[in-house]
Chains A and B, each alone.
Chain A
C-alpha cells in the first residue's frame, strides 16, 4: 500500500513538472528542485560511454533560474509548442540518500507551419528527496536516445 501511495505521489510530481514546461510556466520549473541539485540533458552515446559532456548542464537551482532567464530574455528562436508524455515509472529504491526512480518520456514539438513531430525520446533518471513534506529533485538526468537533435533544443525536458 505504501509503495502504491509513493508511486502516486511521484507520478503527480512528474505530471506537474511536465505541465510546467508544456504550458511554458518556466518560472515554476526550478522550484521542483533542491537548491543544491543536478540537472542534465545528456545524449545516450555520452552516457553509455561514460563521457561527461551534457547538452544542458546545471549544477544548482541558480543555474536552472539562469537558463529560464536566458530563454525568456536573451535567446532568439522560432516559436514552438512542446508536449511531454511521461510513462513507465519505476521506483528503483527508497533509502537514506533519497528515492531513485526512472521514467520514459517523449517530447513532441510543434512548429508554426509544420505538423507535430517527435522531438526527443529518452528516460529520466531521478533522485528525489523530501523537503518540507514535498518531494523535490536532488537530481534529474535526462538521457536521450535522439542523439541527432532536430536543430535546436530550446526548452528543458
Chain B
C-alpha cells in the first residue's frame, strides 16, 4: 500500500509540494491519472464503503442499486437473509443488467442474452447452453461457477451496510477505531431505522472537496450566515475536531448557542442579529442524543458523511463521476419508534440540508467555485496552515487539522 509511484500525465511527474501537508496541489482535483489511481487504491482498495441501510432491503428478494466509487453495484437480500453486494455487470458481455434503483426479484437476468444469476451472484442460467437441435451451445467444459458476478465483502453494524472490494479487510469496528465508532454508535445505536426519503445532486467539483468541506470548521463559522445567525454553529461555542489514529476518519462536533453578537460574529461581515423567522417551527430542536453536542458531522473514509445537525439525520454518500464531478446521495432517516411530531420536526429541519438546503446550498455552490478556480493552474496549490501544521485533535474550530489528517492518509494510500 505504501509503494511510492510516479504518476505520469502529459509527461509530468507528480511531486507533492515540499511544504508537506500545509499545501494541497491543485492537480489532485483534476488529473485523470490521479482519478484512476484513486479508483484502484481507494474505492477498490482497502476501505469499507457505505452502500445503504438494512431497512431499505428488509425482505428476501429486496435490492437497491448504488455505487462504490464509480462502480455500479447491487445490494440484495437473499432468501436466506444474507446481504450480498454484487458488481452490476454481467459476466458475459459486461452489460449493466440492473437499472432500477430499488426493487424485489428472485433472480437478476441480463436483458441482452438472459444470463441469470441468483441473489448471491451465482450464474444459474445460460440460454442455449447445450445448443439448439444439436447445433452450437457452450463447450462441454464450460463451468457456470467460473462466471459468477463479482461480489464484494459485506459487513453491517446497527442496520448500516458497508462493502469492500478487498476481501482481507479488518472488521468495521477495527477500521473505525474506538473514538469514531463511539460517534457512529451515537446515531446508529441499534434502534430500527426508518428512511424518510432521498435527495440527489450532482456537484461539479472533485469528490475530495466535499470531504475537505465537512472537515473544515473554519468555513462553517464564516460562510454559513444562516447557521451563525441562529447560533447553530459558531466559532465561540464549545466544539471540537477529532480524528482516528490514521487521520482518514474524522468528526466535527459543536453545541448550539444563542442568537447574539459575540466573539464569533465580530469578524463575520454578514451576521444579522435582527433576523427573526416568521415561522419559528423551522428551528425547534429537541435534545435526543447523550452529551451536550447538538451537531456531529462524521466523515468516514472513503465515501460517507453521517450528518446529525439538531434533529435532522442523514447519510451523505459520495459517488465519484470523474475528476470534475460527484453525486451526493442524501438518505434522510429517523427511528422506527419516532413520534409523528418528531418525524415532522426532522422533515422540517431537512430544509437546512440537501440541494436546496438553507445551509448546504452555500457548500455546493462554493465547491463549484473551487473547482472552477483550481482547474486554471494545476501547478498552483492551496494553503492549509490554520492552527499550524498539526494533524491531531483540537478543542476549537479555528483549525484545518482534519483536512491535513485526511491528506496525510491519502498520500500514504496513493504513494504521493
Which residues of B from 355 to 400 have beta carbons under 8 Å from A?
A: 355-356, 358, 361-362, 364-366, 368-369
- Selected contact of B366 from candidates A55, A65, A76, CB within 8 Å: A76
Known: A60-B279, A63-B279. A152 touches B201 (CB 8 A): yes
Question: Contact at A62–B361, with CB atoms within 8 Å?
Answer: no
B198 partner residues in chain A, CB cutoff 8 A: 43, 45-46, 51, 53, 147
CB of B279 within 8 A of CB of A66, answer: yes
Contacting pair B355 A152 (CB below 8 A)? yes
Q: Give bound CA distance, A53 to B327, whole Å.
A: 19
- In the assembled complex, A49 has its CB within 8 A of some CB on chain B: yes
**Do the beta carbons of A149 and B282 come within 8 Å of each other?**
no
Cβ of B142 within 8 Å of any chain A Cβ, yes or no, is: no
Residues of chain A contacted by B204 (CB below 8 angstroms): 151
Cα distance A55–B347 in the bound complex, in angstroms: 9
Please indicate the chain A residues that have their CB under 8 angstroms from the CB of B226 in the complex. 70, 74-75
For chain A, the count of residues having a C-beta within 8 Å of the partner chain is: 38
Nearest CB of A to B365, in Å = 5
User: Please, which residues of chain B bring their CB within 8 A of the CB of A45?
Assistant: 101, 198
Q: Does A69 count as interface, using CB distance less than 8 angstroms?
A: yes
A131 to chain B, nearest CB (A): 19
Decide: A154 and B361 in contact? CB cutoff 8 A: yes
Decide yes or no whether A54 CB sits under 8 A from chain B: yes
Contact status A78-B369, CB under 8 Å: yes
User: From A68, which residue of chain B is reached at the shortest CB distance?
Assistant: B278
Among listed B6-14, B45-53, B164-172, B269-277, interface-contacting one: B269-277
A59 contacts the other chain (CB 8 A): yes
Interface membership of B200, Cβ < 8 A: yes
With A51-B197, A52-B343 as known contacts, state yes or no: A78 contacts B275, CB within 8 Å. Answer: no
| A143 interfacial by beta-carbon distance below 8 Å | no
Count how many pairs of residues, one from A and one from B, have CB atoms less than 8 Å apart in the complex: 125
Residues on A with C-beta less than 8 A from B278 are: 60-63, 65-66, 69
Pairwise interchain contact A75-B327, C-beta atoms closer than 8 A: no
- Docked-complex contact A62 and B196, CB < 8 angstroms: no
**Min CB distance, B387 to chain A, in Å?**
24
In the assembled complex, A41 has its CB within 8 A of some CB on chain B: yes
Contact with B along A17-51 (1 / 0, CB 8 A): 00000000000000000000000011101100101
- State whether the Cβ of A56 lies closer than 8 Å to any Cβ in chain B: yes
Whether B281 pairs with A59 at a CB distance below 8 angstroms is yes
B211 interfacial contact with A, CB 8 Å = no
Which residues does chain A contribute within 8 Å of B225, judged by CB atoms?
A: 73-76
Q: With a CB–CB cut-off of 8 A, which chain B residues contact A51?
A: 195-198
- B4 contacts chain A at the CB level, 8 A cutoff: no
Give A1 to B12 CA distance when docked, in angstroms.
Answer: 74
Q: Is the CB of B202 within 8 A of A150?
A: yes
Does A85 touch B at the CB level, under 8 Å?
Answer: no
**A153: interface (CB < 8 Å):** yes
The CA of A52 and the CA of B346, in the complex, are separated in Å by 11
In the bound complex, CA of A65 to CA of B279 (Å): 9
Asked if B202 and A151 make an inter-chain contact with CB atoms under 8 angstroms apart, the answer reads: yes
CB–CB A75/B364 < 8 A: no
Contact of B351 among A57, A151, A154 (CB under 8 A): A57
Asked if A49 contacts B102 (CB within 8 A), the reply is yes
Any chain A CB within 8 A of the CB of B229?
yes
Contact with A75, one of B201, B281, B362 (Cβ below 8 angstroms):
B362
A76 touches B223 (CB 8 A): yes
Identify which of residues 67-103 in chain A touch chain B, using a CB-to-CB cut-off of 8 Å: 67, 69-70, 73-78
> Besides A46-B197, A53-B350, 9 other CB < 8 A contacts?
A43-B199, A54-B350, A56-B351, A59-B348, A60-B281, A74-B275, A76-B225, A148-B327, A150-B201
28 contacts between A and B (CB under 8 A): A41-B356, A45-B101, A51-B197, A51-B198, A52-B196, A52-B347, A53-B332, A54-B347, A55-B199, A57-B350, A57-B351, A60-B278, A62-B279, A65-B278, A66-B279, A66-B282, A69-B278, A73-B272, A74-B272, A75-B225, A76-B365, A77-B362, A78-B368, A78-B369, A149-B200, A151-B201, A151-B368, A152-B365
